[in-house]
């Protein structure tokens, strides 16, 4: 059976491969602490679940949903953006419901990347930006995220000939996997760059509500003129503990949101269960900031347990101000894959090798703050006790 050539360009999805190895170790009876995939371990808000149950009893929600999203959900998303960011959005022209950011980001690539086009992709980064560009026949151009540049792209280092052939740029702050964060000035520079080269600017804001130590993450749409060239993906998955619900929206520039992504989506899927969208609207309408504050306090205590414990053992680790990840340099003498495998086999702790997110992720592992504080302290104890030193 012949497979399409485009499939051969894409490596296996890292989390699918990792889960197989974890399952094999668990099958041996080992107690595994999973700090791998970024999936909240606490439930969605009760009022969201109650709204889903109520809406699901309405037979009208069982019919085909609107392609662009339920009007109530889109209105609440626009109202939320006004309240949270001071950004005005037209819910009928600038908000398009997506079944999670991953789906929306993947489909957006097909609206803007032809074979031979460049997509400006941060490295390391969420794999979807790169893999979907490859599937569309485009060329991912890496924007390196390194410790030296604060894990923020150096826009001035992008060659002129690449910028002129680029059709889309992806950004993600607070960032996965590096947990880096930016202020609004960087977004101003990115908007100016995108306008200069007529590039669709796409900001993945999946972690915008997960911030600590007084930092408040901005929306790229807060920048004057951003809606001329940019869109943003807002996800309910991480801040509301709703990963399995697959809820989010692409908001911003109408040409990108409706005349780009919208054309792909209306010819690919048939929308999202309306009852779930009603529940998503309830999540946005209630006082979400109280829920965010509660969750961020939990993640702060877990972060501190991890970072303080590793620092006390002499490990090189930085405390992040955003996301629920810690980007940990691996000890000298290990590749990221070797270190992750050693920690899994000897300490029975799951971390993700940084190389899975791109070649500039080599030398790091990503640790998710998705177990309670006691389990986090146990993970630290096991890691410190079982890591073997190697000559540099």
Domain boundaries, the chain: 5-44+289-386, 48-286
Yes or no: domain 48-286 corresponds to CATH 3.40.640.10? yes
* Long-range contacts of the stretch 148-156 (C-beta < 8 A, 24+): 150/180, 151/175, 151/178, 151/180, 151/327, 152/180, 152/182, 152/186, 153/120, 153/122, 155/189, 155/190, 155/193
Contacts of 192 (CB under 8 A, 6+ apart): none
Q: Which two tokens stand for residue 268?
A: 């690919």
- Averages of pLDDT over runs of 10 residues in the chain (392 residues) are 83 72 90 94 97 98 97 98 98 98 98 98 97 97 97 98 98 98 98 98 98 98 98 98 98 98 97 98 96 98 98 95 98 92 94 96 98 98 85 46
Contacts of 50 (CB under 8 A, 6+ apart): none
Going from the C-alpha of 209 to that of each of 22, 69, 212, 224, 307, the distances in angstroms are: 30, 22, 9, 21, 21
Residue 166, classed as helix, strand or coil, is: strand
Nearest to 309 by CA among 209, 226, 380: 380
> Tell me: the pLDDT tens digits for 288-341?
999 999 999 999 999 999 999 999 999 999 999 999 999 999 998 899 999 999
Q: Give the mean pLDDT of the chain.
A: 95
Rounded-to-integer distance, Cα 392 and Cα 218, Å: 40
Give pLDDT, residue 389: 63
Nearest to 201 by CA among 234, 162, 227: 227
How far apart, in Å, do the first and last CA atoms of the chain sit? 47
For residue 381, give the H/E element and its range. helix 373-386
Give pLDDT, residue 311: 96
According to DSSP, residue 286 is labeled S
Give pLDDT, residue 392: 45
Rounded-to-integer distance, Cα 322 and Cα 186, Å: 16
Nearest to 40 by CA among 343, 244, 303: 244
CATH number assigned to the domain covering 5-44+289-386: 3.90.1150.10
Please classify residue 12 by burial: count the beta carbons closer than 10 Å to its beta carbon, then call 0-12 exposed, 13-18 middle and 19+ buried.
exposed
Rounded-to-integer distance, Cα 96 and Cα 160, Å: 33
Give pLDDT, residue 201: 98
Rounded-to-integer distance, Cα 231 and Cα 243, Å: 21
Give pLDDT, residue 138: 97
Give pLDDT, residue 277: 98
Give pLDDT, residue 19: 79
Going from the C-alpha of 246 to that of each of 67, 249, 277, the distances in angstroms are: 15, 10, 10
- To the nearest 10°, report the CA torsion of 126, 132, 135, 139: -80
Rounded-to-integer distance, Cα 323 and Cα 289, Å: 16
Give pLDDT, residue 14: 65
């Amino acid at each position: 059976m012949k497979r399409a050539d485009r499939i051969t360009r894409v490596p296996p999805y890292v989390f699918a491969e990792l889960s197989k190895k974890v399952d094999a170790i668990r099958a041996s009876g080992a107690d595994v602490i999973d700090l791998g995939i970024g999936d909240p371990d606490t439930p969605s808000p009760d009022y969201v679940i109650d709204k889903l149950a109520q809406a699901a009893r309405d037979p009208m929600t069982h019919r085909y949903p609107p392609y662009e999203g339920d009007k109530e959900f889109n209105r609440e998303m626009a109202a939320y953006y006004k309240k949270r960011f001071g950004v005005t959005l037209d819910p009928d022209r600038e908000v398009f419901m997506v079944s999670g950011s991953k789906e929306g980001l993947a489909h957006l690539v097909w609206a803007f990347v032809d074979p031979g086009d460049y997509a400006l992709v941060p490295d390391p980064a969420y794999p979807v930006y790169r893999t979907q560009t490859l599937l569309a026949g485009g060329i991912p151009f890496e924007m390196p995220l390194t410790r030296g540049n604060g894990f923020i792209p150096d826009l001035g280092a992008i060659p002129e000939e690449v910028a002129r052939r680029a059709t889309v740029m992806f950004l993600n702050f607070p960032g996965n996997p590096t947990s880096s964060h930016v202020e609004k000035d960087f977004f101003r520079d990115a908007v100016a760059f995108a306008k200069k080269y007529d590039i669709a600017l796409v900001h993945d804001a999946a972690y915008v509500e997960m911030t600590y130590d007084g930092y408040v993450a901005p929306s790229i749409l807060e920048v004057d003129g951003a809606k001329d060239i940019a869109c943003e993906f807002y996800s309910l998955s991480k801040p509301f503990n709703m990963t399995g619900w697959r809820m989010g929206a692409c908001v911003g520039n109408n040409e990108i949101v409706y005349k780009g992504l919208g054309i792909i989506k209306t010819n690919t899927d048939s929308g999202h269960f309306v009852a779930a969208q009603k529940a998503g609207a309830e999540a946005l309408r209630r006082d979400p900031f109280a829920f965010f504050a509660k969750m961020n306090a939990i993640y702060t205590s877990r972060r501190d347990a991890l970072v303080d414990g590793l620092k006390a053992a002499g490990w090189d680790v930085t405390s992040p101000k955003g996301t629920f990840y810690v980007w940990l340099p691996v000890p000298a003498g290990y590749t990221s894959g070797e270190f992750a495998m050693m920690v899994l086999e000897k300490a029975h702790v799951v971390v993700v090798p940084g190389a899975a997110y791109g070649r500039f992720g080599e030398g790091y592992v990503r640790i998710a703050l998705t177990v309670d504080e006691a389990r986090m302290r146990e993970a630290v104890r096991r890691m410190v006790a079982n890591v073997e030193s190697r000559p540099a």
